[in-house]
Amino acid sequence: MNQETWAETVNRKIRARENAAHKPLFTFSLQYDPAKKGGGWWVPLLSIASALLLCAMFIWANGMNPFTVYAKMAKGAFGSSFGISETLVKAIPLLLCGLGVAVAYRISVWNIGAEGQLIAGAIAATAVTVYWPDLPGALYIPVMVAAGIAAGAVWGLLTALPRTYFGVNELITSLMLNYVALLLLDYFVFGPWRDPEGFNFPGTPIFSLDQQLMTFSGTRLHYGLIFALAAVVLFSLLYSKSRWGYEMKLLGANPLAAKYAGISVNRHILLVMLISGGLAGLAGMSEVSGVSHRLMYGISPGYGYTAIIVAWLAKLNPWWMIVTSLFVGGLIVGGYSVQTIGLPSSMSLMLQGAILICLIGGEMLGKYRLVRRGGSGK
Amino acid sequence: MNHVVKRFGDVVANDRVDFSVARGEIHALLGENGAGKSTVMSLLSGIYRADSGELFVHGERVRIRSPRDAMQLGIGMVHQNFRLVATLTALDNIILGEKKQPWRGASWKRKKAKEISELCEQYGLQFPIDAPVWQLSVGEQQRVEIVKTLYRGADIILLDEPTSVLTPSEAERLFMTLRELKQSGKTIVITTHKLKEVMAAADRISVMRKGRMIASLDRKDTNAKELAELMVGRALNDAGEVPAGQAGAAIMAVQEMTVLADHGYRALNGISFEVKEGEIIGVAGVAGNGQKELAEAIAGLRSWASGTMTCLGERMEGASIRRRIDKGISLIPEDRMKSGLAGSLGLVDNLMLKSYRGNERFRMGVLRNKDNERWAAQLIDRFDVRTPSLTVPVRGLSGGNQQKLLLAREIDQKPKLMVAVHPTQGLDVGATESVHQMLLDLRDSSAGVLLISEDLDEVMRLSDRILVLYGGNIVGELSKTEIDKDRIGRMMAGIGDSEEAAR
Amino acid sequence: MDFYVFLIIAAISSGTPLLFAVLGGILSERSGVIFLGAEGTMLIGAVVSCLTFVQTNNLLLATLAALAAAGGMGLLHAFLCVTLRANQTVCGLALTLFGTGLSAYLGKPVAGQALAVAVPRIKLPWLESIPFAGRILSNLDVFVWLSFALVMLLYLYMYKTSWGLHLRAVGDNPATSDVMGLSVSVTRYIHVVACSMLMGLAGSYLIMVYSPNWIEGMTSGRGWIAVALIILAAWNPLYALGGAYLFGGLDALGFRMQLMDIGIPSYFLKMLPYVVTILVLMAVGWRNRNKPSVEPKALGIPYMREQRF
């Protein structure tokens, strides 16, 4: 009985306090909502802007005017028809590799080996020209494409197999294989495949015309563009319409539910790495056959890594990747153009990293929402 | 005198709840699943922060913003899912929050071990102090939790659903401990939905329903019937007798099934049983005696160490999950959001989970969007799933609607054998009833159902036969006419009558 | 005999940066945060160290600057992954890309410039009389001794102090640790920053001792090997020692064999550490295939307190 009275007393006290206390009209607070989609279209734009700002500080600290530098970059990438065609040329491997990593990332397979897979594709495509010099002309491109895709896929598989059968983290494997591929490339271009008439230039002889991808008239822009665009269309159709796409969607949303539905996660990891590697291998093939027309030292200025940014900036959406690959391609071309004013081309790498960091931060900030709590509402 | 009063404005989980507990009493907070009991406990222990309202401890207004604040006020909580670090020893877990004395050599550890052993002895709580927690039984882990709160100097001990993981005899032992604690001046609050326990152990009882505090009563002034009515909110008509099913031919026979648990010990130890068409087999037992592994092994999510499973004349123990699905084996998983549904996807995608391989969902490999939506709308209508639209992410639905969605999907597959694990856990009365009806309808359509549940009342009500699992063995099998709660309770505790165990 | 002594000395020398980085990684992962920014952070450490040394000619200052700069990277990672709860994998990748770019940018003026660093060595003449081991131990530089000390200190820290207990608890079960009054965020911040500082130290060692001139991307995958070694070391500082020297030894062995000209192209010898990393991880994976993982349970999962929908 005693307690009842106590509770009543307390309640009375509270009521009295409530009547007396000053009530704020409303208060705001930031509340984290994990279910909320991280922001809209403005998040990537804002991240790019803040990354530019961040890097501007470094440039400024280096005694340069960041505006001049950025203007120079923009002009170099998009300011002339030459610049635009160069940007497009860079965008092709980025788009292919970006699609490749995006396929994997959608089911949380962290392939960062696109670089190695690209190199493997380039080496295999070149091997066709080295070991079968007498193929009928029209056969070269299809065979080289097949070889490039196959080699990239095998390189991807080398990452996937340890993951599925030994539980080895694919991040580490794929990255280690990048170095292996790079050393393999060095071996070939400094060793057995070096052009005997190349004045010690570390590269193979120039491909014959049959072995080169056609270019759009008068530019360096090659038909690899068609591969890339076709891949975008195929990717988005498969993803939204096919059974495989449904399985991928499920695996991405809840791997346990997918397992419960009888979907083999391991099989998908293998498949995804095959596709991922194949696309990167195709990019490698189109680089040697469409751009440099030979296998040479430093065939890729880090396309495989940059592709990660292309994919993430587009939120893994294939259509957006067309836009982001152009943007990032422009960054690379712009990076070359600032060399004329004494800045290293790694400028663009720094910018890319900064953009990715800001993007991740921005996306997560977008998950917070402003909440009005308490106060006069009720 | 401790008085805890709590009011809320916005959060529906607890709607302006007033609650008070007196020093030195065992106070039971009674309510159905989802009534808001655990929320009250979490607020008192600082895990959640109240949106509004006030809190008093020992008559002082206090603010509890973190578990640490609660601890300083002498409030300790034993959670339903124990808050123990599995890889650390019991000792390390108990002293985890202690910050004094950074250096911890051997002599310090010895001193602490002694201190804690003494504490254990004082209240008759026994467990191996130096073993990693994951090696302890559930009952032992609970004792570690209680000692932990005592060691940290709690006067007020909150226990959230402490008996849900215990056998009847272990629960009895727990209540003895609680009474002992009360004697030494501690205040105890337990939450439960089991009326029998409340009447046996509590001094005072507060009843919650749908986030509101309905009543606060002395045990001597009330009775089980009144409490039940308060809890459910309407006069309780005895849940109707369920007519027995018509058992037909065997659908699945399991022989000498042995399955390993995650840590490598035998979760199931060569068990054999049969499921016939048109019957519901209940599997009773305290959590952690092999139920989870049983369900997973039948569905193919866990591999078998040995034994055979014959399903409609086909050996299935090594079959892939997919083949089992094709064969008509369906699983209602224990945690629907963890493995049964994809929370971020919409209703249509979730309904397609099992049937997407068929040609009804795809034409020539191309998704039939329109048809699928129509089909999904029909199912949702038929199974009474309430949703704003077909495309909202299913994690936004209520637990009951999620479960109905899951069952709709599984039943639409016309399964031959359904394994349902805790199918009504966390559901309100209405949803529970419809889930039960769905299972019974499925049985009457001559499918077999294996119902694995910790809710003994549910198992006893629905089952045509009951298997009791203990320590990975089937320690008893009872037909519908033999069902007797005390006997099952004994078996669940491993005290099977020898005649039953021998079978 | 001489061959082995030199090989072991070389192994220690190329294993030490790995050791620093692995120790750091263990701290971070034990608290439940994956730090994949190792490569980028080491590069930043190296380049800042190099720039500071060029300016001041002071080894201590150069090292401290590396620690500070790398600590900044760690702080950024902690902010993104602990406070904002971003995906730790992607965030680490971004950090590596950023670190690689920024270090190349900053290091451009000093690229290829040889540094005249004199790292003090601790001479212990009385040890020299011990055969074999004496010759190795009697002439090691301060960094190596520092790394030995760190291994011991971190081991004691993790298993013999309350802070270590808190660290292990937070990494295994943050929710429980939170309830027990430990701050998950603070623990993670501290250990991620400590991790990145150790990685900065690794970078500093690379440029001050191992190869004293700045080359773009000079870590050539060591950061990633370190990440792999964390798994090999089973998150235990003592095992880290063995793992780091094993890989240091491979590196050194490859280099030696190149000098001996045994007919295998050097490119293949240089692949050795990378290939062996994969093979070792596969072996570890195979050995542990049926065992419960020793990996911290909450690794990679951001912690949220009021997880209510």
SS3 letters for chain C? CHHHHHHHHHHHHHHHHHHHHHHHHHHHHHCCCCCCCHHHHHHHHHHHHHHHHHHHCCHHHHHHHHHHHHHHHHHHHHHHHHHCCCCHHHHHHHHHHHHHHHHHHHHHHHCCCECCCCCCEEECHHHCCCCCHHHHHCEEEHHHHHHHHHHHHHHHHHHHEHHHHHHHHHHHCHHHHHHCCCCHHHHHHHHHHHHHHHHHHHHHHHHHHHCCECCCCCCCCHHHHHHHHHHHCCCCHHHHHHHHHHHHHHHHHHHHHHHHCCCCCHHHHHHHHHHHHHHHHHHHHHHCCCCCCCCCCCCCCCCCCCCCC
Q: Which residues pair with A27 in a beta bridge?
A: A373
Residue numbers in A near C220 (CB within 8 A): 179
* CB-defined contacts A:B, below 8 A: 105
Look at B262 and C176 and tell me if their CB atoms are within 8 Å. no
Which of residues 200 through 219 in chain A touch C, CB cutoff 8 A?
none
As for how many domains chain A has, the answer is 1
Handedness of CA B181, B184, B188, B194 (dihedral sign): positive
pLDDT of residue A15: 52
- The minimal CB distance from B67 to the residues C166, C179, C291 is found for C179
Residue C98 forms contact with A (CB below 8 Å): yes
The arrangement of secondary structure in B250-338+399-502, i.e. its CATH architecture, is: 3-Layer(aba) Sandwich (3.40)
- In the numeric block, the tokens 């769905």 are attached to B438
pLDDT of residue A371: 61
The rounded distance, in Å, linking the Cα atoms of A29 and A36 is 16
Of residues B374 and A34, more confidently modeled: B374
Give A137's pLDDT tier (boundaries 50, 70, 90).
confident
Q: Determine the pLDDT at residue B1.
A: 41
A32 and C270 within 8 Å at the Cβ level: the answer is no
pLDDT at A2 over 50: no
**B54 and A241: CB-CB below 8 Å?**
no
Distance of CA B208 to the CA centre of its chain: 19
This complex has an ipTM of 0.85
Cα–Cα distance for residue pair B324/A122, rounded to 1 Å: 44
Confidence band, pLDDT 50/70/90 cuts, at residue C20: very high
* Per-residue pLDDT at A376: 35
For position C115, what pLDDT does the model report? 85
User: Which tokens hold the place of A73?
Assistant: 């970059």
pLDDT band at A97 (very low <50, low <70, confident <90, very high): very high
Q: Does B392 touch chain A (CB under 8 A)?
A: no
pLDDT given at position A345:
74
- Secondary-structure breakdown of chain B: helix, strand, coil percentages, each rounded to the nearest 5: 35, 20, 40
Which pLDDT value is given to residue A144?
A: 95
Q: How far is A318 from chain C (nearest CA, A)?
A: 19
Q: What is the pLDDT of residue B160?
A: 87
CA distance, residue A374 to nearest chain B CA (Å) = 7
pLDDT of residue B11: 46
Per-residue pLDDT, A18: 47
Segment (H or E) for A347: helix A346-365
pLDDT at residue A8, rounded to an integer: 53
Q: Report CB contact under 8 Å: C102, A175.
A: no
Q: How far apart are CA A206 and CA A200, in angstroms?
A: 14
Domain membership flag for residue A325: no
Q: Which residues lie below 8 Å from residue A366, measured CB to CB, with a gap of 6+?
A: A36, A37, A38, A39, A40, A43
Contact A7 B321 (CB under 8 A): no
Report CB contact under 8 Å: B341, A261: no
Give residue-wise pLDDT tens across range A273-297: 999 999 999 999 999 999 999 999 9
Instruction: Supply the mean pLDDT for chain A.
Output: 85
One CATH from 1.10.10.10, 3.10.110.10, 3.20.20.140, 3.40.50.300 for B26-232: 3.40.50.300
Instruction: Select from A32, A210, B180 the least CA-distant residue to C303.
Output: A32
Confidence of residue A29 (pLDDT cuts 50, 70, 90): low
Interface test with A, best of C29, C84, C218, C307 (most A CBs within 10 A): C84
pLDDT band at A188 (very low <50, low <70, confident <90, very high): very high
Are residues C180 and B83, on separate chains, in Cβ contact within 8 Å?
A: yes
Based on the number of CB atoms within 10 Å of its own CB, is A235 exposed (0-12), middle (13-18) or buried (19 or more)? buried
| A31 belongs to a structural domain | no
CATH code for residues C2-287: 1.10.3470
Tens-digit pLDDT profile for residues C76-126: 999 999 988 888 988 998 899 899 989 988 888 888 888 888 888 887 777
Output the tens digit of pLDDT for each of chain B's 503 residues.
455 566 554 446 677 778 888 888 899 988 776 677 878 888 888 877 777 777 888 877 888 877 778 888 888 888 877 888 988 999 999 988 888 778 888 888 888 889 899 988 888 888 888 888 888 877 888 999 999 998 988 889 999 888 877 777 778 888 888 998 888 888 999 988 777 778 888 889 888 877 778 888 888 888 877 887 777 665 444 456 677 778 788 888 999 999 988 766 788 888 999 999 899 999 988 777 888 889 999 998 888 889 999 988 888 888 889 899 988 999 999 888 888 899 889 899 999 888 888 888 888 778 888 888 899 999 988 888 888 888 888 888 878 888 889 999 999 988 999 999 988 877 777 788 888 988 999 999 889 999 998 777 888 888 999 998 888 888 888 888 888 777 887 787 766 554 444 44
Q: Answer yes or no: do B103 and C160 touch at CB < 8 A.
A: yes
User: Are the folds of B26-232 and B250-338+399-502 the same?
Assistant: yes
Q: Let me know if residue A284 belongs to a domain.
A: yes
How far lies A118's CA from each of A92, A298, C141, C191, in Å? 12, 12, 42, 36
Asked if the C-beta of C306 comes within 8 angstroms of chain B's C-beta atoms, the answer is yes
Q: Which two tokens stand for residue B271?
A: 């068990």
Q: What is the pLDDT of residue C138?
A: 78
Mean pLDDT calculated for residue range A330-345: 84
Interface test with C, best of A346, A347, A355, A363 (most C CBs within 10 A): A346
What local confidence, expressed as pLDDT, does residue B280 receive? Answer: 92
Q: What is the pLDDT of residue C264?
A: 79
Instruction: Tell me whether residues C160 and B104 touch, CB distance under 8 A.
Output: yes
Residue A348: list chain C partners with CB under 8 A. Answer: 101
Q: For position B87, what pLDDT does the model report?
A: 87
Facing residue for A360 by CB, picked from C80, C106, C220? C80
Higher pLDDT, A338 or C50: C50
Q: Give the closest-approach CA distance of C281 to chain B in angstroms.
A: 22
Q: For residue A230, what are its two tokens?
A: 């076709």
Domain membership of residue A149 as a residue range: 93-314
- Spell out which residues of chain A touch residue C93, defining contact as CB-CB under 8 Å: 110, 112, 308, 356
State whether C221 and A171 contact (CB < 8 Å). Answer: no
Is A3 in Cβ contact with B341 (below 8 Å)?
A: no
% of chain A surpassing 70 pLDDT: 87
Cα–Cα distance for residue pair B63/B55, rounded to 1 Å: 7
Nearest Cα residue in chain B from A34: B344
In this structure, of A100-109, B231-240, C174-183, C298-307, the range with the lowest mean pLDDT score is B231-240
Q: Which helix (H) or strand (E) holds B217?
A: strand B212-218
Q: Per-residue confidence at A321, pLDDT binned at 50, 70, 90?
A: very high
Q: Where are the domains of chain B?
A: 26-232, 250-338+399-502
Query: Using CA atoms, how far apart are residues C177 and B99, in angstroms rounded to an integer?
Result: 12
Please answer yes or no on whether B18 and A7 come within 8 Å at the CB atom.
yes
Q: What is the pLDDT of residue B129?
A: 87
Q: Is C25 on the interface with A (CB under 8 A)?
A: no
